[in-house]
Amino acid sequence: MYLFKIAARNLFRRKKRMFIISSILALAVITFLLIDSFMIGMMDLSFGNVIDFETPHIEIGREEFFIQADDGQELPLEETFIPEKYMLEEIKASDGFLAVTPVLDFSASFIAGREEFPVLVRSIETDSFGGVFKNEDYLVEGEFVEAGDSGVVIGNQMAEFFDLEIGDFYTLRFQDKNGYFSTIEGEVRGITTTPHPQMNMGVVFVARDYAVSRLGVEEDNISQLMVRVENRDLALSSAQSLANKFKNTDYQVRSYRDASEMLVSLEAWGYLETYFILALILIVGAIGIINTIVLSALERIEEIGMMKAMGLKVNQIVRVFLLEAAGIGVIGGLVGCIISALINHFFVNYGLDLDLYLDAESMGLPISGRLYGVWNASSFLLIFILVILIALIASIIPSYWAARKDPVDAIHHR
Q: What is the 3-state secondary structure (H, E, C) of the chain?
A: CHHHHHHHHHHCCCHHHHHHHHHHHHHHHHHHHHHHHHHHHHHHHHHHHHHHHHCCCEEEEEHHHHHHHHCCCCCCHHHCECCCHHHHHHHHCCCCEEEEEEEEEEEEEEEECCEEEEEEEEEECHHHHHHHCCHHHHEEEECCCCCCCCCEEEEHHHHHHHCCCCCCEEEEEEECCCCCEEEEEEEEEEEECCCCHHHHHCEEEEEHHHHHHHHCCCCCCECEEEEEECCHHHHHHHHHHHHHHCCCCCEEEEECCCCCHHHHHHHHHHHHHHHHHHHHHHHHHHHHHHHHHHHHHHHCHHHHHHHHHCCCCHHHHHHHHHHHHHHHHHHHHHHHHHHHHHHHHHHHHHCEEHHHHCCHHHHCCCCCCEECCCCCHHHHHHHHHHHHHHHHHHHHHHHHHHHCCCHHHHHCCC
The pLDDT assigned to 279 comes to 74
What's the pLDDT band for 383 if we cut at 50, 70, 90?
Answer: confident
What is the per-residue pLDDT for 205? 95
Could you tell me the pLDDT band of residue 238, with boundaries at 50, 70 and 90? very high
Tens-place pLDDT, residues 17-58: 777 778 888 888 888 888 888 888 888 888 888 889 988 999
Q: pTM higher than 0.85, yes or no?
A: no
Looking at every residue in the chain, the average pLDDT score rounds to 81
Tens digit of pLDDT for each residue in 276-297?
777 777 777 677 767 766 666 6
Does 305 have pLDDT greater than 80?
Answer: no
pLDDT at 362 over 60: no
